Structure formats: C-alpha cells, structure tokens
Structure 1
Amino acid sequence: MSFNSPTPATGYVATFLDAVQQYVAASPGRAILLAVVYTPLLTIVLNILRQLIIPRDPSLPPEVFHWIPIVGSAISYGNDPLNFFFTCREKYGDVFTFTLLGRQVTVALGAKGNNFVLGGKSDAFSAEDAYTHLTTPVFGKDVVYDVPNEVFMEQKKFVKVGLSTENFRAYVNMFEQEVDDYMRTDQAFIIWQMNDINEWGRFDVTDVMAQITILTASRTLQGKEVRSGLDKSFSGLYNDLDGGFTPLNFMFPNLPLESYRRRDEAHKKMSEYYTDIIRKRRETGHLDEPDMISALMDQKYRDGRPLRDHEIAHIMIALLMAGQHTSSASGSWTLLHLAHNLEAQEALYQEQVDYFGNPDGSFRPMTYEAFRKLPVLDSVIRETLRMHPPIHSVMRYVRTDVPVPATLAAPSKDGTYVVPKGYYVLSSAAVSQVDPRIWVNPTKWEPTRWSDPEGVAAQAFKTYADESGEKVDYGFGAVSKGTESPYQPFGAGRHRCIGEQFAYLQLGTVIATIIRKVELRLEDGITKLPEHNYHTMITMPKKPRNVCYRRRRFD
C-alpha cells in the first residue's frame, strides 16, 4: 500500500469529524465535554494516523509503532527490555528507533551495534548529556558527567592510581576477614553460627550481598574512617542518596518529591563527611593509607592544579554508589546459580580445597597472585556476568547527525540511515551476551563454556580484552577498547568501568569465602531462578530470592 494515496483510514477520519461537528451543533455546551473526554482519544488516533499515513523521512531508521504519544514504548521497554529488543529486531532489524517518554531513542543491537554506540566519538555521542541530570545530584558537582569529557578522563586516571596491584594484594585478606566477621555476627547466618552441620538456614541473597559489598568496599577502597563509621546514621544517608538513583530520577530529574529533597540533603551531609576525613588526614599527616582517598589526595590535573577536597569527596561518593549495586547484583546472581547448579558449586569448592586447603580441613588465606589462577572461579564469574550484566542499556545523547554504517544496518532505498541530532542512541550488551545467533544455549548458565579455548566465549573475551596487545588511551592510560565484542560486562570504550579489576577481585573473593564455609541450595520446591527486576537502575533478581545454606563439615 502506498502511503501517498488515499486510504480507508482517511475516510474514517472524515466520517468521525463530521459526526463530531453535528454533535456539537446540537448543543454548544457539549464542546467542553467533548474536549475532556475525547481529546486524549483524538490524540491517540492522530498519533496512529501519523505513523500509518504521513510519509516518513527515508533517512531515518525504522520507527517502532506505538499507540500513546510521548509515552511511546516506555511500558514494554521498562517491563522487559530484552524481550522488547528481540521482538523489535525481528520486525525492524538491528537498528530502529522507539519513543521513550518523549525521547527518540535509536537502538543499535549486536556486536556491531555495541561498537557503533560505545566506539563513537564523544563530540557526536555524549554520555554527559545523557546522564548528568541523574548522576550530578547524587555524585556531586565537578566530577564524572558534570565535567567535560576530557576532565572526566583525567579523573579516571586519578582513580586508576588507587587501583594498584600493591593495594589489591592488601585487599584480598581484608575481603576475607569482612566476610568472616559478617557471617559470625549477622542474624542471616545464625544457623552457621550455631556450628550445626545438619540444620539449614535461609537468607535473602540480595540483602546479604548488599551488606557484604558495602562492608568490603568501605574496608578497602573507601578507607578505615568510612568502615569504622558504618553506623545507622551513615546507612540512612546512603539509603536516602540511593533513593535518588532510580529510573524515575533518570526520566524526570526535577520532580518536587520528598525523595528528591532527602537525596539532596543526604548528598550534602555525605560530602561533608568525606571532606572532614580529608581535612583530618591533612592535619595529622596520615596520607599513606592503601585506599582511594589517599591516592586521590596526591593527584594533580595536567595544568598542575591539585584535586580539591570536594572533588575527592564527590569521586568517593561516585565510587560508593556506582560500585555498590553492580557488585551486589552480580554476587546475588552468582550465589543463586551456585545454589541451583550443585555440580558447579562442588567444582568451585573443590578448587578452593586444591589451592588453599589444609590437611585438617581448614583453609589458608587467599593471595592476589593465587586468585588470578583459579579457572573455575573465573568461569563462574564470567558466565554470571554474561547472563546478568548489571546494566542492560547504555545511552548516549546525539550531538550531531551521525550516519549508520552499512555494515550495521542495510541502507534504505534512498541511502544510509542517519541518527539525527537531539536523538539518543542505545546499545545493549545484555542482548549481545544472550544472542542465539552468537551463543550456544544462550539462556543456560554454563560456566564450562569458558574452558574451550576455541569456543565463542573465549573468542568474545579475547576481543573484549584485546589480547592481541592493541590498546587505546582515552586519557586515563592505555586500556583494551573492547567495543567490538558481544561480551561487555563492564562496558567498553572510553567509559569502560575503571573499577573492573577491583570489582572482579571483590566478587571472586567474597563468593569463594562463602563457598568455603557453607553449602547452598534453593528452597524446597523452587526449581527456577528468580526473574530479572528491570524496574531498578541495576538489574536485580526479583523476590523471593532466598537461598538455603548449611555449615560445611570441616569449616
């Protein structure tokens, strides 16, 4: 059907308008009633007709059909983004545009789509324009997306200094000790504390991992002052600040809500908390702690200006907030899979016995060097991150018209598609990491897939890590680009997570320490893992998400 010629739809509209005119003529007061009742309906009808009748600019990517203007596909996308993406790909291909609460978002799927979005130049695809309204009220001014990209790259370089191998060596035992202390004191592990190898206890994996994550992070990266100050008042500030880091805040940054007021007040108090620590360290000369505060206090920008105290404080808040949810989510999914897959759990436990076990059944402390040589633990983490990347969508604001490469989307009959200035672009590693066109049994948690050196998983990781030796320096030191890989658990390109190695070490040490101490099972009658909760910024498991545990015989 040609949309340039009359269609039955235009006849329906003429009939509808004629009926409305006769209805209003019979009683002028009916116009107000019509306006109230039928304006929303008319708006929907006009939106549908616009999509069906009005010729579309052939240079634009295909548009996902939607019923309600402005709202667009927000409900379908928000409830289940992966299903939405796969369904749209079947209809429109790897590149398409959908409406998200008034925003026009062009999606680019697959490894080539990842490369198009995350490998794009910052003057064309802007992360700061996409996210600053969400991150600045939480992290603070003058850091991350509240500064030009080149300044943010310098700040990432400063953070990288604190993520040194020397510090990592010290962190391993700190992680172990924090997990051990937590299990010996928290009510979640009361059965384990009773030293009964026959009784089973139960805990909510996300609640437990959230607590362990903040304890281990504060003991190491955040510094001893933060760890010693983890009381109810700090927890309250964190919770209020965290309440401002939601999809609602991303879509509507300036609502006059109580949660927004609490967020702003919490940020002010937490910023003062960190600047007070910095001030006291300067006064006492305690500047050589193996933590991030100490590392940042020594850094200077290229122009010679040192980091100001409030910048250090705000970077510390950003590290706390960004790392907390991602690590606790990954840890939750890992424990759930191990509780479900007893064979993998036993292999992981046996690896700990082989590398660190003593004849009496006890374990020697882990070391950083030994941690890097644990293939089962490595496979378990990689596979969990493949199936459950913490962030399912990455967006950039389009600053200038950008053509879509023909290798990504077949050109339209009139030439290459163009993503216009003012749109957003979106890539989703969550799609490419479970794409049946790439992976065998993509929705099955199968750590052994990473053991095949010629398999898809190993090749994807090689591309992600750029093991060929090719590195790119975006301003914070040479790193692997990784934008062309279908596997991107920590992002890629210039905004690849700078804390990747720390998160991996933290997660691996925590999981290994727990597995040394307890056996895990899903609750009786539960045969499937929880579904993904996509209504949060980080993809968490939905409730119920309980795991049963029993003390190991030789712990």
Structure 2
Amino acid sequence: MSYAANGTTPILDAWSGYVAYAQTQLTPWSSRMTILSIATIPVLVVVLNVLSQLLQFRKSSEPPVVFHWFPFIGSAIGYGTDPLNFFNRCRDKYGDVFTFVLFGRRVTVALGSKGNNFILGGKSIVFNAEDAYTHLTTPVFGKDVVYDIPNDLFMEQKKFVKVGLSSENLRAYVGMIEEEVEEYLGSDSAFSAFQSNDANEWGHFDVLKVMSGITILTASRTLQGKEVRAGLDKTFAEIFNDLDGGFTPLNFLFPNLPLASYKKRDIAHKKISDFFSSIVKGRRAETNPDHEYDMIASLMNQKYRDGRQLKDHEIAHIMIALLMAGQHTSSATGSWVLCHLARRPDVCDALYKEQVKNFSNPDGSFRSMTHEELRQLPILDSVIRETLRLHPPIHSVMRHVRDDMPVPATLAAPGKDTTYVIPKGHYVLASPLVSQLDRTIWKDAETWEPLRWSDPEGIAAQANKLYEDVQGEKIDYGFGAVSKGTESPYQPFGAGKHRCIGEQFAYLQLGTIITTFIRHMELKMDKLPEHNYQTLITLPKAPREVYYRRRK
C-alpha cells in the first residue's frame, strides 16, 4: 500500500474527504451523529471479524483459519513481509495444514514434504495451476501459451522447449556463455577497477544489477538467437523493464488496476511480441537458415499432436516466457551464490583450486570447459545446490481448488482421526522454502554449508536422490519422462508436472558464470543481504555490494 506525502494512505484520504463532505450537508447535531456512525463502522467490522474467529464460525471439517484482525486483508502483511517466519509461527500453532486470508482469497497451506507431495503431486483437474496464475502470466507472456491454454497443450509446449535444450545444444552453449561473461567483466563500467594496473585495488558492484545483466546477455546469446543478442540495447532494456514491471505481487493480487505500470506492461508486451514475431517471419523466408542451436529454430520445427505447426505468435510468446522466467530465477540464484562466496573465502578458494586443477594451462591461463566437464565438478555442484536449498527462487507455489478435496489424516493431524476438507474455491499453497529449511530435517538448516552435499549418506544426498528419483519411477506428463520428486524435502525447481524443464540449462548457465567469475576475481562482502520477499522471486535486498579484486 503506497503512502501520501503526509503519511496517510489514499484510502484514508478518501475516507476523510467523505467525512468532510458529510459535515457540509448535515445539521450540527445530525452531522455529529452521522460522523460518529461512520467512524464506528471500521471498528465494528474489525470487532465482528474477531468475534467470528473467536466463536469458531467455521465448519469443523475445514482447516483452522489463521487469526487476523482485518477482513479481506487477512494475513497479507505477515505473509508478504516474511513468509518463512509466518509459516513457522502458524505451523507451531495450527499444525501442517491451515488456512489464511490473503486479500479476500482463502489460501490453505500444506507444509513439509507430505504437504508438497499432496499439492504438487495432486491432479490438475482438482488443484489447477492455470486458474491460479493465468491472470498474472498471460498479460506478460501472451496468449495461447503456458497458463493461457489447457494443461495438455501446455505439456506439449514444454516438450517443444525440451527438444530445444538437447545435449548437443547445451554443449555449444558453454563456450558462448564464457565469452559473454569474459566480455562483460572486461568492458562494463561496473568493473572498471578490474582493469586497473594496481593488483591490490578493490572495486565493488551491486551483485543483483551485475547478475541481471549477465544472465540476460548469456540467455539471449544461447537460447534466444543471434538477432535477439544483437538487439540488446538501451531501448530493449527499457522495454524489458516495463514488461518486467507487470510481473509483481501487485499484479498477482489485483490483475486489472488502472495504473501506469499496467499500461506500460501491455505496450511493452506488444513491442517484444512483435520483435520476436518479425524474427520468425524473417526466418521462414530464408532459403538457407543457419540457426541450429537456438530455441526459435527448434520451435519452428515442432508440431502439435494434431499435426499443426506452432504459429508465429505462439513461438514469440514462448520465447518471452523463457526470457522472463530464466532471467529472474538465474539472476537471483547467481546473486546469492556470489554473496555467499564473498562471505566464505575458504569455499571461494576451494572453488578456484578446483578450476586450477582441472582447467589451468602451463602459462597460468585457463582453457574452456565442456558441458560434460562442468557437470563433474563436485565443489561447484555443492555450491549451487546449497544456494538453491537456502534461497529457492520461488518460496510459494499455488493452485486453485476446483472441487472439494479431503486432506489425508496423516498430514492434517498425524496420530488423530481427523480429516479436513479443502472447499472448492480455495487456493492451496506448498512451500519448498519451509521443507528446505526445516530444522527437523537439515542440520544447521539456516547455515550455508556446501559440504553437506559431499556426504554420500547425509540427508542432502538422500533428499537429492528422492528428488531425482535415480532408481525410482519416471513419469511422462507429456514432455518426456521425469522424476516426480514431490516427496523430497529439496525441490529447488518445483516438482510434478510443473517441474521446471530448464533446470539443466540453469545449472549450465550458473556454473559457467560462477567459474568464470572465480577464475578472475577474489571476492569479499561485509554482511550477507536480507531477503526481499516482496517480489515474486526471492531477491537479495540492498545494500548488496560485493567487493572484488582481480587475481594476480
């Protein structure tokens, strides 16, 4: 909620104006009585809301409702400010299953590994993702893709993208990403001290700003294609920022507000959609196309089960979805990795020595890595996995409930003969963040410790095996067989049919960016940033300055 210059809110200003108007229209006696009546309405609403909760005006079969003072607003402030603390407090009081009010929505939460499995492993005809997210994603991504279409078509589109992320393409991407990072570190103004002749000089940079720039450059060079990479200028950045401005919690909660940011979002979407569509049209007219490694070329060769090809606007909108989703998650995770490395010189040094051991030349320089080699670096792998455990990009996953759904008694109230029923019309919420920081599962759960992933018998290895389902059943939801992974306490890329298909590319992109940084830089940081939970992706709050010095 925004505040005016005098410290009030627009809602309070409007209310004060109404009271002033009433004063001019009524006699002194009736004016006083009317103003008193008006002033007591909010108090009365709060009192009735509190009484209804204290007197338990709810069905006994429904999950307990988190106590809240204000109707409609509910627990929005507590949840939006610090979801982890909110969930843990509610868990202590109500158990693993409870309902809270979020701006008029009834959201039923199921926590822990069993809760994740219940919601993320549930049937889409009951727990529906399209109903929960289309009002947020469709204005940004565009029509006829992702959550704007039936689930079976979305699964087909995920298969098309997965084809584009072939092993051959991934192999080609490592060198491209390395080149982009090298160029960025050598030329961007944020790294002027990097080029200094004084090897002892420390510079500093805003880690999120730098990682955002690098991730969009590397993604455009690899997935998006030559035309997109060539078009990345200041104008494109401004348009992208306007589109990005439509991907916020405000847009999720209130899809159709008459705000300038909403209008800018719509204008930006059309410009970027037209940009991608023009690339597709141009490629269709080519006689000898040479774009074998990028996603546009792959999508142009795909067909739905009914035999039809993707339309130009479908390809354009899938490319927007890939650009937006990958940009946010990779830049957030990459930022947290660099922050932790800057705070742990021992891990940073071990990561550098891993590079020296495997890739150093006799003259002290480094040779390029291959995709296969990148996947065989245990310290790098542990650093990325531990960062994703502590900072999953998305802390809450929601679904809309299409039919009344019983909650297993073992989840709702273990050891008791109690079965809750989640009513149709509610939302359900799973939180990978809670299970990944559960102190009953993870030793020193809130401590960043990559070594936990090197213990083959430890909980981290067990959780990862359960997530990857190495020897278990693979399920094909329509885009190729993948592990279900919904029972694992470690779910950095989601689970079930909506598990992110870009995780291999994400590991490749992050791994290449991080190793290139570490090859060139020493890092340090005064204090780890706090979490910014007021964005859809969990980002580090400012100040987030990382200090760096070039290696001798």
In structure 2, the CA distance between the partners of 1:109 and 1:282, relative to structure 1 (3 Å rule), is same
Instruction: State the Cα distance separating 1:198 from its structure 2 match.
Output: 1.0
- 2:295 matches 1:292: yes
The AA in structure 1 aligned to 2:113 is A
What's the secondary structure of 1:38's corresponding residue? helix
Superposed, 1:321-332 pairs within 5 Å as 321-332=324-335
What's the secondary structure of 1:395's corresponding residue? strand
- 2:270 matches 1:268: yes
> Which residue of the partner structure matches residue 547 of structure 1?
546
Instruction: State the Cα distance separating 1:76 from its structure 2 match.
Output: 0.4
Rounded to whole Å, the distance in 2 between the matches of 1:128 and 1:195 is 55
Identify the match of residue 351 of structure 1 among 339, 344, 354: 354
Rounded to whole Å, the distance in 1 between the matches of 2:301 and 2:177 is 25
Instruction: State the Cα distance separating 1:406 from its structure 2 match.
Output: 1.4
Superposed, 1:356-375 pairs within 5 Å as 356-375=359-378
Contact 2:412/2:418 (8 A) holds in 1 = no
The AA in structure 2 aligned to 1:505 is L
Contact 1:58/1:414 (8 A) holds in 2 = no
- 2:442 matches 1:443: no
Unpaired runs of 5+ residues, structure 1, are: 1-25
Rounded to whole Å, the distance in 2 between the matches of 1:34 and 1:501 is 63
> Which residue of the partner structure matches residue 499 of structure 2?
496
> Which residue of the partner structure matches residue 316 of structure 1?
319
Superposed, 1:368-517 pairs within 5 Å as 368-410=371-413, 415-517=418-520
- 2:52 matches 1:50: yes
Instruction: State the Cα distance separating 1:31 from its structure 2 match.
Output: 4.0
In structure 2, the CA distance between the partners of 1:287 and 1:302, relative to structure 1 (3 Å rule), is farther
Deviations 1:185-237 (A, max 9, x none): 10111111224311111001000000000000000001110000001111111
Instruction: State the Cα distance separating 1:41 from its structure 2 match.
Output: 0.8
Rounded to whole Å, the distance in 2 between the matches of 1:228 and 1:314 is 19
> Which residue of the partner structure matches residue 103 of structure 2?
101
What's the secondary structure of 2:78's corresponding residue? helix
Rounded to whole Å, the distance in 1 between the matches of 2:376 and 2:331 is 23
Give the paired residue count: 524
In structure 2, the CA distance between the partners of 1:146 and 1:287, relative to structure 1 (3 Å rule), is farther
Instruction: State the Cα distance separating 1:409 from its structure 2 match.
Output: 1.4
Instruction: State the Cα distance separating 1:145 from its structure 2 match.
Output: 0.2
- TM-score, normalising length: structure 1: 0.93
In structure 2, the CA distance between the partners of 1:61 and 1:352, relative to structure 1 (3 Å rule), is same
The AA in structure 2 aligned to 1:547 is V
Rounded to whole Å, the distance in 1 between the matches of 2:97 and 2:56 is 21
What's the secondary structure of 1:208's corresponding residue? helix
Instruction: State the Cα distance separating 1:411 from its structure 2 match.
Output: 7.2
Rounded to whole Å, the distance in 2 between the matches of 1:361 and 1:368 is 22
The AA in structure 1 aligned to 2:538 is T
Deviations 1:399-421 (A, max 9, x none): 00011011211179884101000
Deviations 1:95-124 (A, max 9, x none): 000000000000000000100110000000
Deviations 1:499-548 (A, max 9, x none): 110011000100000000010011xxx2x311100111110000000110
Contact 1:196/1:551 (8 A) holds in 2 = no
Moved more, 288-297 or 154-163: 288-297
Rounded to whole Å, the distance in 1 between the matches of 2:322 and 2:339 is 26
Deviations 1:456-480 (A, max 9, x none): 0000000000011420001111011
Identify the match of residue 302 of structure 1 among 288, 305, 321: 305
Rounded to whole Å, the distance in 2 between the matches of 1:365 and 1:516 is 11
> Which residue of the partner structure matches residue 127 of structure 2?
125
Identify the match of residue 204 of structure 1 among 203, 206, 219: 206
The AA in structure 1 aligned to 2:344 is N
- TM-score, normalising length: structure 2: 0.93
Moved more, 129-138 or 53-62: 53-62
Rounded to whole Å, the distance in 1 between the matches of 2:400 and 2:467 is 24
The AA in structure 1 aligned to 2:372 is E
What's the secondary structure of 1:426's corresponding residue? strand
> Which residue of the partner structure matches residue 191 of structure 1?
193
The AA in structure 1 aligned to 2:549 is R
Rounded to whole Å, the distance in 2 between the matches of 1:265 and 1:514 is 36
Rounded to whole Å, the distance in 2 between the matches of 1:461 and 1:367 is 24
> Which residue of the partner structure matches residue 14 of structure 2?
none
Rounded to whole Å, the distance in 2 between the matches of 1:277 and 1:65 is 53
> Which residue of the partner structure matches residue 4 of structure 1?
none
Report the identity percentage.
70
Instruction: State the Cα distance separating 1:238 from its structure 2 match.
Output: 0.3
> Which residue of the partner structure matches residue 218 of structure 2?
216
Instruction: State the Cα distance separating 1:437 from its structure 2 match.
Output: 0.8
Contact 2:351/2:380 (8 A) holds in 1 = yes
> Which residue of the partner structure matches residue 538 of structure 1?
537
Rounded to whole Å, the distance in 2 between the matches of 1:489 and 1:278 is 33
The AA in structure 2 aligned to 1:396 is R
The AA in structure 1 aligned to 2:309 is P
The AA in structure 1 aligned to 2:123 is K
In structure 2, the CA distance between the partners of 1:423 and 1:466, relative to structure 1 (3 Å rule), is same
What's the secondary structure of 1:547's corresponding residue? strand
Deviations 1:152-189 (A, max 9, x none): 00000000000000000000000100000001110111
Deviations 1:314-370 (A, max 9, x none): 000000001101000000000000000011000100000011011221101011111
Contact 2:409/2:418 (8 A) holds in 1 = no
The AA in structure 1 aligned to 2:110 is A
Unpaired runs of 5+ residues, structure 2, are: 1-27
Contact 1:59/1:414 (8 A) holds in 2 = no
